[in-house]
Amino acid sequence: MYRYDEFDENLVRQRARQFRGQVERRLSGELPEEHFKPLRLQNGVYLQLHAYMLRVAIPYGQLDGRKLRGLADIADRYDKRYGHFTTRQNIQFNWIRLEDMPEVLDRLADVGMHAIQTSGNCIRNVTSDPFAGAAADEVEDPRPWCEIIRQWSTFHPEFSHLPRKFKIAVSGGGHDRAAIRVHDIGLDLRRNSDGEIGFEVVCGGGLGRTPHVGVTVRDWISKPELLSYLEAIMRVYNRHGRRDNKYKARIKILVNELGEATFRSLVEEEFAAQNEREKVILPLAEVDRIEAYFAPPAFDAAPAASPTLDEARRLNGDLDRWARHNLRSHKAPGYTSILVSLKPLGAAPGDATSDQMRAMADIADRFAGGDIRVAHEQDLVLTHVRLEDVPAVFAALQTAGLATANGGMITDIIACPGLDYCNLANARSISVANSIQAAFSDPDLEDMIGPLHLNISGCINACGHHHVGHIGILGVDKKGEEFYQVLFGGRADERAAIGEIAGPGLKHEDIAPALKRVVQRYLSLRSSPEETFIDALERLGQAPFREALYAAS
């Protein structure tokens, strides 16, 4: 895991000091809210329905025990003893007073964290695969490049007042678990025909009001050229992106309005025009230095299967079911990654209490080399756990209330905070998620259904990524009443697709029963138990599911 050197440390401290000055000028009235707003936003401070919200950056979702304990301490001291993990692999605190913000930033800096560029029209926190460095299918660990991009994009003087926010995601080249095709820029590590590892560059993806799947602007760019190429894209966007309408200001609109070919030629022209002074120089030794932080731990030689675990699973049905849904394959034999669900029935998706954070930190330190990730599904991940240790990890997670056995299942719902917190929302998200969880709370039923991604947003800004759920739900306001539209067929992986709206919105109380009918229809139509919901949907089309959705009315 990357550790700050003196440069990183100094900048974060200086930024905290700078923001302290800005908050003081705001509180004294010297700085009007209008001018304070972009400054607080570049420090992750939003004004929400009830209070200021602080979004803390977790670069590429990477945590360790010390950082997570630091977050737990902030939750205890300045908030209501919990935090909310987001689809951008960050954490949000909903109840921090503005006066306390500078102190919170100092405390974050104490554990190597910050809230830099977690909002505002700048390059946001870089996101990645939560299984990076552990997944068997990756070409290479993407995290060193995430860290390099984090550093390059931090306080970039040219790209701090972009037309709109800008999100970059990096995947390691296997299955896409970072949703790179629905980001402003998505990077995928891959080999060219000579076997050299570089990046495919995807651009113009995004969700929100006008969802788009990104287009490939470059099949392959070499590692040394990556940052210069990113600068070319950013400059084209900064100069030509629309600034007359914030809803048309994202790069996806520029790519769409110019057309893929014109956009690509603008980027290539800009890239070709860079002179030696303009190129971003990244010494190989510096890449090596950063890569060294992400070197895999020394794995013990272990057999691919663990008789201890197998026996424990045979004796403990709860462990067995949890292991079936929450363990993920690992590149080292005898090891596994664990998805720790933050979606127990009846809670706000993505929330964790300070006690749970501390428990996770302890478990990670003891069993996972201190390595903890935040997944964009709003769950946590422990990488590098020995199969032998899984029963002990399960027991510890159970004690902490973190052993929900629904990883990747229908009750592992992605949801934005919705109308309960957010001043943009049209409808509640959390209570709909809870009603769906209740409808599918029978473990046998959920086991039968298998993998199914269900995403909920409380408004068209799509923070809950409803467009890329196999089933997506969008809250809308109709004359003061909450209605929920259902979308079918979205996906966020390497076959990224935007879901299609099935028809008119349903009432809050009708959503769960309607989805139950949809799922029953799937179970009756699937070709075999191996055919997942999304596969069946792609084979059969929307019609039978739409019909089931509205069957009651």
Partner 1 sequence: MPLLRHGRVSSCSRIFSDSGFGDAAASDVIVTLRSFLDDRSSTASRRDDVAVRLRPEDDPRLLANDLDAVSLIEVEFPKYTDGRGYSIAQLLRRRYGYTRELRAVGQVLRDQLSLMRRSGFDAVVFDHPDAEGVYAEAVGELSSAYQGAADDAVSIFLRRRPGASPGGLT
**Residues at the interface with partner 1 (CB under 8 A):** 5, 7, 10-11, 14-15, 17-18, 22, 35, 38-39, 121, 151-152, 154-163, 224-225, 235, 238-239, 243, 273-286, 289
**Least distance between partner 1 and beta carbon 206 (Å):** 19
User: In the block, which residue shows the tokens 């554990």?
Assistant: 111
Spatial separation of the C-alpha atoms in residues 265 and 255, rounded to whole Å: 11
Give the residues across from 93 on adjacent strands.
54
**Least distance between partner 1 and beta carbon 443 (Å):** 49
C-alpha torsion sign, points 84, 88, 90, 94: negative
- CA torsion 291-293-294-298 (nearest 10°) is 120
Residue (246 or 539) nearer to partner 1, CB: 246
Strands 45-47 and 380-386, sheet pairing:
unpaired
**Least distance between partner 1 and beta carbon 411 (Å):** 41
Cβ–Cβ < 8 Å for 188, 199: yes
Q: Which amino acid is at 121?
A: N
Residue (222 or 441) nearer to partner 1, CB: 222
Cβ–Cβ < 8 Å for 454, 471: yes
The CB density around residue 229, as the number of other CB atoms within 10 Å, is 24
Among residues 454, 435, 453, 441, the alpha carbon closest in space to that of 512 is found at: 435
**Least distance between partner 1 and beta carbon 43 (Å):** 11
Residue (273 or 438) nearer to partner 1, CB: 273
Contact partners, residue 344, CB within 8 Å, separation at least 6:
401, 404
Number of H helices and E strands in the chain, helices first, is: 18, 21
**Least distance between partner 1 and beta carbon 369 (Å):** 26
**Least distance between partner 1 and beta carbon 53 (Å):** 21
* Burial grade of 16 (CB within 10 A; 0-12, 13-18, 19 or more): buried
User: In the block, which residue shows the tokens 């951008």?
Assistant: 88
Residue (164 or 465) nearer to partner 1, CB: 164
Residue (37 or 77) nearer to partner 1, CB: 37
State CA 271 to chain mean position distance: 30
Contact partners, residue 322, CB within 8 Å, separation at least 6:
394, 403, 404, 405
**Least distance between partner 1 and beta carbon 165 (Å):** 12
Residue (98 or 392) nearer to partner 1, CB: 98
**Least distance between partner 1 and beta carbon 152 (Å):** 6
Residue (234 or 454) nearer to partner 1, CB: 234
Residue (14 or 527) nearer to partner 1, CB: 14
